[in-house]
Structure 1
Amino acid sequence: MLPTFAPDTTADRARALLESAAWTLVGTGDWAWVLASPDGSLAARVTPFDPAFRLFADACLAGPPNPFLVRVDDVVPLRHEGYVVVMERLHPADEDRAQGLVASLGVVSATDSPPPGATADLADHPDVVDLRRRIEDLLAEGARRFRLWGGADIRPGNILQTADGRLRLTDPLFVHGPTVFESIRDGRADLLGDFSRADLEDFLRIPAFVPGPETDALRTALDALDLDGHPLGAPDVDRP
């Protein structure tokens, strides 16, 4: 059973609540932690901040199902822009089949070259055509909304499969995290105008940033930035 999360719940607290309800940590990426439900049928993706996956998850939740797209059951808000995505539990996919789906989608990825030798056998499949259109629409929306938009991240590693072997696309979009990091480090407030101070504080709490001197230095650099028209160091009002 999914715990209840108050609007001011942090991502760390959400993970603790899930673990106390017998959900098990099964994966950690740069932006999020993933926990599996006690019966193994669901996953909860927990992040303090990841606007690209939120764009994708909201579209999955609102749009019609597609057999090549991960099933999202709920998006639960946490403190600021953090959230928990409740979705079907997936597993590593067969590499050749994953490469075939990437090639069939034919969406130019900003993170990887097309898999060598992969055949696009599903390129004209109606569900692949539909998924390609939906991803292209999301890419255009992300580019409109974020100046540090990364683009597509469609590669075999982001194709997973269900327990019975059905392929699912899971994480096809990204905001360019390294440039966000560099902009904080280098004092480039002019590049960070899409994000509030609270957003960026939570960005520094994603799994990619481990406790230590480097992360502490980034927090100090963030404190020195003039963001959102706030005086230096002024706190943001918490948003639900």
Structure 2
Amino acid sequence: MARPVRVADPWFVIPTLDPESTADAARESFEAAGWYLAGTGDWAWVLASPDDTLAARITPFDPAFRLFAEACLAGSPNEFLVRVDGLVPLRHKGYVVLMERLYPVDEARSSRLVEALGSGSGSGSGSSSSSSGNGGGNATTAAPPDRSGELAGHPDIVDLRRRINDLLAVGARHFELWGGADVRPGNILQTPSGDLRLTDPLFVHGPSIVEAIRDGRAEALEDFSRTDLADFLRIPAFARGSETAALRAAVGELRLTHS
């Protein structure tokens, strides 16, 4: 279901996409409108708007980030949470998330926010890295003074902790191969003025999906259709080559209960 895009009169074009567009076609549409590649994670490509105010995160399949993005759209603003402006559906379960453009932050500052949230989960293997794209470029103004000592009891931190825990419970109910929390310094970015934002706190465990496909363990993949798994193998983590081709062939041989 399409979500309204909450962006006020940008001078650049936000492409109108057909719901049957593939992720590759969506990228081409954004590039044709002047958007440029700002970053590539495991699960998604991220393009930045021509004026560097917005990012478009494009994926053929990423159920964990969709859960997060929909919660951001439905919830109230939070000082430490990325601003999500819209979710545009693509073919099957692909989608584009439009969000604020963010930038890298030094690990000392991002680590303090992770500590305040109290839910770091290590490497988050299988999650999307720098999900807002915002691994390229630099913030344009100096960061504000550090306020880490005040963070743990900040009302928005308390609220964000609650939201993450709620989403973790939802994910665990829906996915056998749920990864859990991915609250780590690499998923904390900053606005041009230096305000910290959590961007990608959840993940489905991609390596376990790959292992189950390779081993033919259809029972471990019952949360996904054959189409889901085919689209999973189209995320950026899978380069063209014999290994990916073998995984695609293995998906075709799985005895799944739904296609």
State the TM-score, normalized to the length of structure 2. Answer: 0.84
Deviations 1:23-69 (A, max 9, x none): 00010010000000011100000000000000000000110000100
Alpha-carbon distance between aligned partners in 2 of 1:212 and 1:88, rounded to the nearest angstrom: 34
Aligned to 1:201: 230
- Say if 1:110 and 1:150, in contact at 8 Å, map to a contact too: no
Amino acid at match of 2:164: I
Q: Which residues of structure 2 form unaligned runs of 5+?
A: 1-12, 125-147
- After superposing on structure 2, the runs of 4+ consecutive aligned residues of structure 1 that deviate more than 6 Å are none
Alpha carbons of structure 1 residues 150 and 110: separation in structure 2 relative to 1, 3 Å: farther
Pairing partner for 1:24 from 36, 40, 59:
36
Aligned to 1:62: 74
SS class of match (1:90):
coil
Deviations 1:74-97 (A, max 9, x none): 000000000000000000013211
Alpha-carbon distance between aligned partners in 2 of 1:134 and 1:37, rounded to the nearest angstrom: 29
Task: For residue 108 of structure 1, report the CA deviation from its aligned partner.
Answer: 4.4
Q: CA RMSD in A?
A: 1.2
Aligned to 2:115: 103
Percentage identity across paired residues of the two chains:
68
Pairing partner for 1:47 from 59, 62, 76:
59
Alpha-carbon distance between aligned partners in 2 of 1:95 and 1:212, rounded to the nearest angstrom: 35
SS class of match (1:67):
coil
Aligned to 1:183: 212
Alpha-carbon distance between aligned partners in 2 of 1:108 and 1:158, rounded to the nearest angstrom: 10
Deviations 1:84-127 (A, max 9, x none): 00000000013211110000000142537xxxxxx764111111
- Say if 1:36 and 1:42, in contact at 8 Å, map to a contact too: yes
Aligned to 1:115: none
Q: Which residues of structure 1 form unaligned runs of 5+?
A: 113-118, 230-235
SS class of match (1:74):
strand
Alpha-carbon distance between aligned partners in 2 of 1:195 and 1:223, rounded to the nearest angstrom: 13
Alpha-carbon distance between aligned partners in 2 of 1:108 and 1:213, rounded to the nearest angstrom: 35
Amino acid at match of 1:6: D
What is the number of equivalent residue pairs in this alignment?
Answer: 224
Alpha-carbon distance between aligned partners in 2 of 1:10 and 1:222, rounded to the nearest angstrom: 20
- Say if 1:103 and 1:120, in contact at 8 Å, map to a contact too: no
SS class of match (2:151):
coil
